[in-house]
Chains A and B, each alone.
Chain A
Amino acid sequence: MNVLKGRSARAWAGFAGGAFALFAVAPFALSDFRLGLLAKYLCMAMVAVGICLAWGRGGLLTLGQGVFFGLGGYAMAMHLKITDAGPGNLPDFMQLYGTADELPWWWRPFENPVFAIAATVLLPMTVAALLGLFIFRRRVKGAYFAILSQALASAFAIWLVGQQATTGGTNGLTDIQGFFGYDLDDPVNQRMVYFVIAASLLALIALARQLIHSRYGELLVAVRDSEERVRFLGYDPANVKLVAYVVAAGMAGLAGALFVPAVGIISPALIGIVPSIEFVIGAAVGGRASLVGAVLGALAVAWAKTALSEEFPAGWTYFQGLLFIVALAFLPGGLASLTKLFRRRRAVAQKSPVIPVGEAA
């Protein structure tokens, strides 16, 4: 029991430390430009929280999170583009590439801000639920699930590119000016967007932690480790997996929606196979089974991408590749396994005869 209390206190301290860093240190230590980049990284971390749940805890290799990120992003961007254009006008790219004189029917609902905001989370969750029902009921798993996710990401990106007149094609939706009445050009508003993103990330982490440490979380790990046994015990593994998949999709959708005001662009380049893999890499480098690991991993990978490409514009991709190989070859559990390694060392040094039960889990 002491161990459990210790762990909870540590989590609380870590959470408070993270909040302090995000709200009290970063806004003062970073320039407007760097704070904007941090906002972008935090969106990546939000996707990683979902991946930690679905992949790290549930064993579902979600190689198609770009789809849900994109659904959330496009839902938000469509609303913002309509508002930017003003009443009665078409968004700029439709005037350029489109042939229609009025908004396509499937754009219309996004004129309503409440619908658009709800859609950023509910749309990805609905898609994930339908897809998940189909996949998990049929007991599709492992590599087949991963391939299916990838195919979906690829298909969605190709569809978006093909519908240039209504989706902006390869360009995506760019040049987003305002965010619910606030001018995104103003650094003060950019800062506000950053705070919204930071608070959302913390909220998602808290939510995921609650889920992981609940009865459901136990069941999810059980399904990951031995699905057949769970089934014999009378649970339906399909439902257990479905919940994790749907929650992860909702988190990716929210991340996509907040990415739009932070970066000002959403395009098929953020949705296809490569970005979907990049989301997973962040979680893998940090440690997919650990919430802190996945979040810090996603932040570190996104930051390294910027830092390396600024420092070595011509050869940074080699460094990035090397970093992944080193991280995954020597730390298969990700950076999070470093702390475990140290703890074990310390335990051995103290010549403790038995490792506490809670610690071994």
Chain B
Amino acid sequence: MSSGSPILRRRFLAGGAALAAVVVLSACGAKTDAAGTSSDKAAKIDISGDTVKVGLLNSLSGTMAISEVTVRNSLLLAIDEINASGGVLGKKIKPISEDGASDWPTFAEKAAKLIKEDEVAATFGCWTSASRKAVKPVFEKNRSLLFYPVQYEGLEQSPYIFYTGATTNQQIVPALDYLKSQGKKSLYLVGSDYVFPRTANKEITAYAKANGMTILGEDYAPLGSTEFSTIANKVKASKADAVFNTLNGDSNVAFFKEYKSAGLSAKTMPVVSVSIAEEEVKSIGSQYLAGQLTAWNYYQTTPGAANEKFVAAYKAKYGEDKPTSDPMEAAYTSVYLWAAMVEKAKSFDPEKVKAASDGITFDAPEGKVTVDGATQHISKTARIGKIGTDGLITEVWNSGKPVEPDPFLKGYSWAADLS
């Protein structure tokens, strides 16, 4: 059996060539070096009717879903509360959920959908730094706002992102200060293999050098890895005073089990973790974690009327056994901060909202927070906690007052070479 007749084949090829010509001749748009392109146009916001739409962009499927679903829950709680007390500028907030599916290009696609198709006034969400880096250009190009609720590695300041989780000097630096004050002279670094742990460890190494601490080892495991016997043994052999743990998700379960079976404990070699909150303690099992340290800005046990109200409302909506955690609190806070900015600006326009942001305060569950308009981060109280046998975390130290955000660590001489 041979192919079709030669004439048809020739026509086939001629068709292809004609199409190629169409492409070459098709009109071309702005060049990169041309000043003032179409990006000068801000995204449209749909404020027709008596509602205003906001986007919730979280992973509802994939490896990050276990963490990000709790963030979405507390975002919805804040929206419900604000709607119950009259909404924003007289309009009820209508949340539009999209699934980032733990996949960074999908985050970018869904962010564009929320901005262009749904015409949302602002978007709340993202967890991993990789997902934030993927959506950052989308929000910047369309001049739309993202509120990012998770602690991160710092060194970033997008004009269209508000960071309501901790930056380095509100979490990692205080944790290192705490270890130093406890007389710890040597550290072992363990982390998942992605951007946050690698960047955080660079910062920790710079801090250690300037503060007379030594780093005895640095190990990375692929995201989701559960093989930790080698790392646990290396940690044990290093005889470090403490371990700084930037592992994420499921890997923590395997790591702490190996840690225990290697004969290590919180007494002999404490571990400070920056990604283990109440939700994760529950899934790892408090018997493996009791006595270990965490660094955050909020715990379920943080005292204060605002937190009592938040915890009670969350449990009433989602169940008595559901804990509240730092990223959830930061997400909850972010909705209130946005609403306050909009009320102050008397407009949903992102540019006006940004202009109104400086100095906005909110009595958050973690205590009073204030937006710094220059960096678009917020001031937060740093808290070191100890994990208890009941799975809750109790505070052992706090910074006394909110720490001003310093995403590029400009106030720290040891960090001069980092960015």
Contact among A171, A209, A310 with B133 in the assembled complex (CB-CB below 8 Å):
A171
Given contacts A187-B38, A192-B29, A263-B108, whether A97 and B134 have CB atoms under 8 Å apart is no
Tell me how many residues of A have a C-beta within 8 Å of chain B: 70
Residues 14-47 of A at the B interface (beta carbon under 8 Å) = 15-16, 19, 23, 31-33, 36-37, 40
Given contacts A9-B8, A170-B223, whether A95 and B16 have CB atoms under 8 Å apart is no
Asked whether, in the complex, the Cβ of B20 is within 8 Å of the Cβ of A199, the reply is yes
Contact among B23, B30, B130 with A186 in the assembled complex (CB-CB below 8 Å):
B30
Contact among A7, A12, A31 with B11 in the assembled complex (CB-CB below 8 Å):
A12
From A110-118, A210-218, A347-355, the one touching the partner chain is A210-218
Interface string of A159-176 (1 = CB under 8 A from B): 001101000011110111
Residues 11-64 of B at the A interface (beta carbon under 8 Å) = 11-13, 15-16, 19-20, 22-23, 26-34, 37-39, 60-61
Asked whether, in the complex, the Cβ of A182 is within 8 Å of the Cβ of B28, the reply is yes
Contact among A16, A84, A186, A210 with B29 in the assembled complex (CB-CB below 8 Å):
A186
Asked whether, in the complex, the Cβ of A97 is within 8 Å of the Cβ of B198, the reply is yes
Query: Is A87 interfacial (CB-CB < 8 Å)?
Result: no
Residues in B whose Cβ lies below 8 Å from that of A84: 32
User: In the complex, A263 Cα to B137 Cα: how many Å?
Assistant: 11
Asked whether, in the complex, the Cβ of A189 is within 8 Å of the Cβ of B195, the reply is no
Asked whether, in the complex, the Cβ of B4 is within 8 Å of the Cβ of A8, the reply is yes
Query: Is B208 interfacial (CB-CB < 8 Å)?
Result: no
Residues in B whose Cβ lies below 8 Å from that of A9: 4, 8
From A57-65, A247-255, A265-273, the one touching the partner chain is A265-273
Contact among B23, B104, B112, B193 with A171 in the assembled complex (CB-CB below 8 Å):
B104
Query: Is A143 interfacial (CB-CB < 8 Å)?
Result: no
Interface string of A194-218 (1 = CB under 8 A from B): 0110010011001001100110001
Asked whether, in the complex, the Cβ of B105 is within 8 Å of the Cβ of A263, the reply is yes
Asked whether, in the complex, the Cβ of B38 is within 8 Å of the Cβ of A12, the reply is no
User: In the complex, A155 Cα to B329 Cα: how many Å?
Assistant: 38
Query: Is B317 interfacial (CB-CB < 8 Å)?
Result: no
Asked whether, in the complex, the Cβ of B1 is within 8 Å of the Cβ of A218, the reply is yes
Query: Is B419 interfacial (CB-CB < 8 Å)?
Result: yes
Residues in A whose Cβ lies below 8 Å from that of B31: 181-183
Asked whether, in the complex, the Cβ of A188 is within 8 Å of the Cβ of B28, the reply is yes
From B94-102, B264-272, B340-348, the one touching the partner chain is B94-102
Chain B min CB distance to A40 (Å): 8
Contact among B110, B117, B194 with A170 in the assembled complex (CB-CB below 8 Å):
B194
Query: Is A309 interfacial (CB-CB < 8 Å)?
Result: yes
Asked whether, in the complex, the Cβ of A264 is within 8 Å of the Cβ of B137, the reply is yes
Residue of chain A at shortest CB distance from B156: A96
Query: Is A5 interfacial (CB-CB < 8 Å)?
Result: yes
Asked whether, in the complex, the Cβ of B222 is within 8 Å of the Cβ of A182, the reply is no
Residue of chain B at shortest CB distance from A164: B198
Query: Is B5 interfacial (CB-CB < 8 Å)?
Result: yes
Chain B min CB distance to A293 (Å): 19
Residue of chain B at shortest CB distance from A318: B61
User: In the complex, A172 Cα to B103 Cα: how many Å?
Assistant: 12
Interface string of A285-325 (1 = CB under 8 A from B): 00000000000000000000010011001101100000000
Interface string of A314-353 (1 = CB under 8 A from B): 1011000000000000000000000000000000000000
Contact among B19, B109, B419 with A263 in the assembled complex (CB-CB below 8 Å):
B109
Chain B min CB distance to A150 (Å): 15
Chain B min CB distance to A234 (Å): 21
Chain A min CB distance to B15 (Å): 7
Given contacts A169-B194, A213-B4, whether A269 and B28 have CB atoms under 8 Å apart is no
Tell me how many residues of B have a C-beta within 8 Å of chain A: 65
Asked whether, in the complex, the Cβ of A206 is within 8 Å of the Cβ of B223, the reply is no
Residues 123-138 of B at the A interface (beta carbon under 8 Å) = 128-130, 133-134, 136-138
Chain A min CB distance to B201 (Å): 11
Asked whether, in the complex, the Cβ of B19 is within 8 Å of the Cβ of A19, the reply is yes
Residues 119-169 of B at the A interface (beta carbon under 8 Å) = 128-130, 133-134, 136-138, 141, 155
Residues 212-246 of A at the B interface (beta carbon under 8 Å) = 213-214, 218
Asked whether, in the complex, the Cβ of B109 is within 8 Å of the Cβ of A37, the reply is yes
Interface string of B197-223 (1 = CB under 8 A from A): 011001000000000000000001011
Residue of chain B at shortest CB distance from A3: B1
Most buried by A among B2, B5, B23: B23
Residues in A whose Cβ lies below 8 Å from that of B133: 171, 174-175
User: In the complex, A95 Cα to B220 Cα: how many Å?
Assistant: 22
Asked whether, in the complex, the Cβ of A161 is within 8 Å of the Cβ of B4, the reply is no
Asked whether, in the complex, the Cβ of B4 is within 8 Å of the Cβ of A199, the reply is no
Asked whether, in the complex, the Cβ of A188 is within 8 Å of the Cβ of B27, the reply is yes
Asked whether, in the complex, the Cβ of A195 is within 8 Å of the Cβ of B22, the reply is yes
User: In the complex, A170 Cα to B193 Cα: how many Å?
Assistant: 8
Contact among B19, B198, B222 with A23 in the assembled complex (CB-CB below 8 Å):
B19
Contact among B4, B15, B37, B108 with A19 in the assembled complex (CB-CB below 8 Å):
B15
User: In the complex, A242 Cα to B9 Cα: how many Å?
Assistant: 26
Query: Is B116 interfacial (CB-CB < 8 Å)?
Result: yes
Chain B min CB distance to A32 (Å): 7
Asked whether, in the complex, the Cβ of B34 is within 8 Å of the Cβ of A183, the reply is yes
User: In the complex, A264 Cα to B137 Cα: how many Å?
Assistant: 9
Query: Is B3 interfacial (CB-CB < 8 Å)?
Result: yes
Query: Is A11 interfacial (CB-CB < 8 Å)?
Result: yes
User: In the complex, A162 Cα to B192 Cα: how many Å?
Assistant: 10
Residue of chain B at shortest CB distance from A314: B60
User: In the complex, A153 Cα to B133 Cα: how many Å?
Assistant: 23
Asked whether, in the complex, the Cβ of B4 is within 8 Å of the Cβ of A5, the reply is yes
Chain B min CB distance to A162 (Å): 6
Chain B min CB distance to A1 (Å): 9
Asked whether, in the complex, the Cβ of A309 is within 8 Å of the Cβ of B98, the reply is yes
Query: Is B368 interfacial (CB-CB < 8 Å)?
Result: no
Chain B min CB distance to A138 (Å): 29
Given contacts A33-B116, A96-B155, A183-B34, whether A192 and B137 have CB atoms under 8 Å apart is no
Asked whether, in the complex, the Cβ of A203 is within 8 Å of the Cβ of B20, the reply is yes
Residues in B whose Cβ lies below 8 Å from that of A188: 27-30
- 9 A-B pairs whose Cβ atoms sit less than 8 Å apart in the complex: A8-B9, A161-B222, A172-B104, A182-B30, A186-B30, A188-B27, A189-B29, A265-B134, A309-B98
Q: Which 3 A-B pairs have the closest CB atoms?
A: A8-B4, A188-B29, A213-B3
Which residues of chain B have a CB within 8 Å of any CB of chain A? 1-5, 8-9, 11-13, 15-16, 19-20, 22-23, 26-34, 37-39, 60-61, 97-99, 101, 103-106, 108-110, 112-113, 116-117, 128-130, 133-134, 136-138, 141, 155, 193-195, 198-199, 202, 220, 222-223, 419
Further pairs besides A8-B5, A169-B193: 15, Cβ < 8 Å:
A5-B5, A12-B12, A33-B117, A40-B109, A158-B222, A162-B193, A170-B104, A182-B31, A183-B37, A185-B39, A192-B27, A196-B23, A209-B12, A264-B138, A265-B104
